[in-house]
Amino acid sequence: MFRKMRTIGVPLSKEETIKIFEKQKHGALAVNGDNGYPYGVPISFVYSNDRIIFHCSITGHKLDSIRKDPKVSFCVIDQDNILPEEFNTLYRSAIAFGKARVIENGQEKREALREIVKKYSPDFMKSGEKYIDVEWDNVAAIIIEIEHMTGKAGD
């Protein structure tokens, strides 16, 4: 179903790939956008239990695209050191493929938003909970159930 990685670099183990997702704070989400054009957008995210969690406004291109076609890809760059004199790059990256869904269940949505607060504002969980309450009707929480992931490093 998914292409085998073309190995110019070194394939990373699943554990190493997961560590990249756990460590990084930002990545690029790619969806099937309007009129068949791909739409890639940077997002903040949380990796947890073979899922990627993020939030967004309750309206917009990203959410419309996910509702139209839930198949997405998501990538992060862990390392990107250019070696100009060698015409090379030292890199580490990870990509995941899966299906995104808008969380409709209130408890599941709250847990997802708490995961985001815990990653980005761990010292402010109490005020983060209040912020979730204030923004509740204005925010959507999305989960990508990962079906396939790979990581790659080049040296």
Residue 84 belongs to domain with CATH number? 2.30.110.10
Whether the per-residue pLDDT at 50 is higher than 80: the answer is: yes
Question: What mean pLDDT is predicted for residues 130-142?
Answer: 96
Whether the per-residue pLDDT at 7 is higher than 70: the answer is: no
Q: What are phi and psi of 25, to 5 degrees?
A: -110, -20
Question: What mean pLDDT is predicted for residues 117-124?
Answer: 97
**Rounded-to-integer distance, Cα 80 and Cα 127, Å:** 35
Tokens of 60: 């917009």
Most confident by average pLDDT, 5-14, 84-93, 121-130: 121-130
Whether the per-residue pLDDT at 14 is higher than 80: the answer is: yes
> Number of structural domains, the chain?
1
pLDDT band of 1, cuts 50, 70, 90:
confident
Name the residue range of residue 124's domain. 10-154
In a domain, residue 56? The reply is: yes
In a domain, residue 91? The reply is: yes
